Amino acid sequence: MVSLQDDCRKVLEQVERYLDGELEAAARLEIDEHLEACGPCMDRSEFQRSLKELLRAKCGCDEVPPQVLERLRSTLAHL
């Protein structure tokens, strides 16, 4: 049996790829359903979405540099 905590961990591990549209349809649907039912994960994904938008606006580029994304992912994984 998978616990809610395990589901949250799984979702948060993939939320960057979800936000970047890099997941296949089935995985995206699974995360959509989880986010609809889980306020803390939704809050976390919205924070990350806002952060990506802010970085995009401040960097003056279309994409966040890969090394910045990797540092953000590493930092967020340890929160």
User: pLDDT by residue (tens digit) across 15-42?
Assistant: 989 998 999 999 999 999 999 999 999 9
Q: Which pLDDT value is given to residue 30?
A: 93
C-alpha 19/C-alpha 26 separation (Å) is 15
Please give the angle made by the CA atoms of 24, 54 and 20, to the nearest 5 degrees: 5
C-alpha 53/C-alpha 61 separation (Å) is 11
Q: Which pLDDT value is given to residue 3?
A: 55
Residue 45 contacts residue 23 (beta carbons within 8 Å): no
C-alpha 70/C-alpha 32 separation (Å) is 23
Domain span at residue 51 reads 4-77
Q: Which pLDDT value is given to residue 2?
A: 47
**pLDDT, tens digit, for every residue of 43-61?**
999 999 998 888 878 876 6
Total count of domains within the chain = 1
